[in-house]
Amino acid sequence: MATHKKDVRDLLQGFDTAMLVTHLPSGHLRARPMAIAKKGEEGDLWFATRVDSPKVEEIEGDHDVNVTMQQGERFLSLSGVAQVVVDRAALDRLWDEAWRAWFPEGKDTERLALIHVTPHEAEYWEHAGREKVRLHFEPGMPLERRGVQDEGEGTA
């Protein structure tokens, strides 16, 4: 399949919402839908949140997260490390008026923060799981040279 020739920036196109999965202090998992604030050049993702949100406490307790996305018969799962970022300049650059639904005070919402997810592995499926590609992220290595394994048809 030709998908392995795509880089992660291409794979991220069309995904605007994701499920961010974090670990509770008990070790159980929690997932919630999040609007994607930014898709970075290295396949990293940014989300907006409040500093006092339970997901922030969960990330500070365990930085390992998973982010899943679906669009039609395209699926992407990123495993990586999350970091809470409080940076007013970055918030000003990334602010989207559509976020007012969650942050009625706008970009000046008190205690507004960002979550930055740096992936270390990704899996991508097309056609409801019949074709799968696994991408391994290596810091500092150009996207086109990172490990890619095409697992072919019939992989569940």
Task: Give the model confidence (pLDDT) of 4-36 as tens digits.
Answer: 335 677 788 889 999 999 999 999 999 999 999
Cα distance between residue 29 and residue 120, in whole Å:
19
Protein fold of 2-153? Pnp Oxidase; Chain A (2.30.110)
pLDDT number for residue 140: 53
Q: Where are the domains of the chain?
A: 2-153
Cα distance between residue 128 and residue 30, in whole Å:
24
5: left (phi over 0), alpha (psi -120 to 50) or beta: alpha
pLDDT number for residue 137: 64
124 within 8 A of 70, measured Cβ to Cβ: no
Q: Assess whether pLDDT exceeds 80 at residue 118.
A: yes
For residue 74, count CB atoms less than 10 angstroms from its CB and return exposed for 0-12, middle for 13-18, buried for 19 or more: middle
> pLDDT tens digit string along 55-69?
999 999 999 999 999
Averaged pLDDT of the chain: 82
CA dihedral (13, 116, 56, 52) in degrees, to 10, reads -90
